[in-house]
Structure formats: C-alpha cells, structure tokens
Structure 1
Amino acid sequence: MATTNTTTPRPGGRSARVQAAVHQAASDLMALRGRAALTVPLIAARAGVTPSTIYRRWGELSDLLADVAVERMRPDSEPADTGSVAGDLIAWAEQYRDEMSSEVGVGMMLDVLSSRNGVSVEGRLPVPCQCAAFTASQIRTIVERGVERGEPVPVIDTVMDTVVSPIIFRSLFGSAPITSAHTQTLVAACMKTARLLAPVEL
C-alpha cells in the first residue's frame, strides 16, 4: 500500500528476520489459498519457524494477520507533489480510495479490527491507532508543503474527518465504495476550510 513513513520502530536482527519471514509467508499463503484457509502451522511451515514461535510472538492467528495488515499499510513513498495542496490531496485521496476500497484493502482493515491485541479493555482501538498515524503522517506531508508554499491549508484533523473517514466508512459499511467524483467533492469541501497557517499550528 502506498499510504507515509512513521517513526514506529521495527525490530532488528534475528527478530526482524523472523518477522519478515512470517509476514511474507502469511502474505504468500493468503494470495495462494485465501484468508479463510490460513492456519498458524501452515504459515509457520512456509516461514521455516515453529508454530510456537508464532504463538509466543503474536498470540493468535488474528493478531498475526493484523500485524501483517498494519505493515502492509505502512506507506512506501511520500504523497505525489502536484504543486498545490488541492492537487496533492486529490491525487492522494484517489489512491487511498482505490487501495482501501479494494478487496485487499477491506480485508486488511477487517484483520486490524478483529485483532485481540488491537483492542483496549474498553473495546476501542488505541488512539491514535497505527493505521491512523500512517494516514495522518501522509496528510501532514501535504499540509506542510502547502505551508512552505504559502498556501491556505486545511487542518490535518479536518482532512481525516471529512475525506478519510467517509472513504473508510463506505468501504467497510456502505453498499458501494465512494466514487472518484465523490472523492473529489470531499476534497473540495475540505479545502473550503483552508486557511493560512504557521508551522507551529499544524
């Protein structure tokens, strides 16, 4: 998924190799057999580790798949620079809509939501959850560019509420995903809140 870099640390050394092998095995098997066919022993065999290694590190299959989903949601590039905040937001939102409304994107969101470790004792995801942090970081990049250009920009939380939230809600619960035209309408409405900001106001 191409959605920003974050400061969340990644494991190093042997731990990193085990995580990479298990993540790759889970992703490969999901593509080959489908989500419903996955088991911890199957993933362990393909990754070359013991099932107990997976259980010790991730606990249950749902927690492993949530971890894989979060890592796949980690952006691998910055948002496209089109030369304007509105252009950047439209380009980014279109790509985000395509990714999150796809079968793969919806599956990843459901894996994150179904994780036992991703839910607090109050029954809510941690705030902010890692996936939201990835998304907000990409929006911050777009907004910071606009500030540097001297453009009016929307507040990051406003973009999350008026552009990101409808895309996620419709992808998970709507009868049909948001269309390209609707995405552009959301961005246009968001841009109506734009104002000149200083970097300290972000």
Structure 2
Amino acid sequence: MTAPTLRPGGRSARVQESIHKAVRELLEEQDRASVTVPQIAARAGVTPSTIYRRWGDLSALLADVALARMQPETESANTGSLSGDVRAWAEQYLDEMSSAPGRNMLRDVQSSLKPSYCATIIGGQLQTILDRYPDQPRPSVDRLINMVAAPIVFRILFSEAPLQVEELHQLIDIALSQ
C-alpha cells in the first residue's frame, strides 16, 4: 500500500497559506520578538499543535515564511543585455534584502535548517537571466552567486552598512568579465 499523496492546492496547502499569512500579518503589526505560536495559530484558525507538528518550532516557521517570500513574484527585468539584467536583478535584491524585513528574512533563513535553499532560489533567478543570452560569453551561476549575491548578503548580515550600488556594479563587471 502506498502513502497517500498530497493534492496541490488541497487542505494542506490552504492550511499552510493561512499560517504563512498570519505570520506575515503579525510581523507587520508587532515586533517579531513578541510573535508567538499561539498568536499565529489563533490568527490562522488552527491549533498550535498543527504548527508544531508541521514546523517543529517558531524559528523553523519563520524561516519557512522567509523562504516563501524570497521566491520571486515576477520574472526579473529583461533589459536586453546580460549586464543590464544582472544589474537590475542585483540592485533589486540589494534594495529588498537591505530593508528591515529583508534583513529579518535573511536572518530567519540563516538560522534555519535550510540555508542552502536560499542559494537554490537565487541560483534559479540568475540561471533564468543567463538563459536569455545563450550566444554570449557568460559566467556560471556559481560565479555570480560568489561575486555578486554573496557580498550583498555578507554585508547585510555582518557589516554596519550594506554594499553600495557603485561597489555592486564593480563586482558585476568583474563577474561578467571572462
């Protein structure tokens, strides 16, 4: 006998979405340190045990919500050039992740058991850009992550100030040079 499969968009997906929505709303209304699993459960219309069973603890739930929010809602800008597309993506990523909510998302993901998933998301976004220009010399996704995304994240998490846009452009130029 095989295990039942979850239906995409079924009850499980609706419960997850209601819990994610409750987390997002509570984080907008109050300081994150005061958000609790019982508050989230009450807002989502589920029992706290539902949250603990699915995520284990609050930090895992916050990380899951952060990862879901990191998924792009739209495809990255298509400027007509590889350099322009990477710049547009990197500037948007820098802007979003430098904000207080972005910084909190990065910290939630960093503290989770799934930090590599963040690299998968970023890698997918960058691969989409690279795939637009198959006839041009182009760097690998790993090179772009190492030379563009990693410095952004490092400076946001471990420095007093985020990377400056001019520095970001210099890194992109180096990453794209062959």
The separation in 1 between residues aligned to 2:137 and 2:9, in whole angstroms, is: 41
Match for residue 121 of structure 2? 134
Helix, strand or coil at the partner of 1:146: coil
1:146 aligns with 2:133: yes
Task: Give the number of the structure whose residues are more often helix, by fraction.
Answer: 2
Letter in 1 for 2:39: L
Letter in 2 for 1:143: L
1:28 aligns with 2:62: no
The separation in 1 between residues aligned to 2:145 and 2:82, in whole angstroms, is: 15
The separation in 1 between residues aligned to 2:104 and 2:23, in whole angstroms, is: 13
Q: What's the RMSD between the two structures over aligned residues?
A: 1.5
Alignment of 1:35-184 (within 5 A): 35-115=32-112, 118=113, 125=115, 129-147=116-134, 150-184=135-169
Helix, strand or coil at the partner of 2:133: helix
| Higher relative contact order (Cα pairs below 8 Å, separated by 6+ residues) | 1
The separation in 1 between residues aligned to 2:8 and 2:49, in whole angstroms, is: 19
The separation in 2 between residues aligned to 1:13 and 1:34, in whole angstroms, is: 32
Alignment of 1:181-200 (within 5 A): 181-193=166-178
How many residues are matched? 173
The separation in 2 between residues aligned to 1:86 and 1:111, in whole angstroms, is: 31
TM-score normalised by structure 1 residue count: 0.82
Letter in 1 for 2:60: D
Letter in 1 for 2:124: S
In the TM superposition, residue 20 of structure 1 has moved relative to its aligned partner by 0.4
Deviation per CA, 1:127-176: give whole Å up to 9, x if none. Answer: xx2111110011101111111xx222111111011011100100100121
- Runs of 4+ residues deviating >6 angstroms: none
Structure 2 regions of 5+ residues with no counterpart? 1-5
The separation in 1 between residues aligned to 2:120 and 2:7, in whole angstroms, is: 15
The separation in 1 between residues aligned to 2:145 and 2:14, in whole angstroms, is: 34
The separation in 1 between residues aligned to 2:28 and 2:75, in whole angstroms, is: 27
The separation in 2 between residues aligned to 1:191 and 1:62, in whole angstroms, is: 37
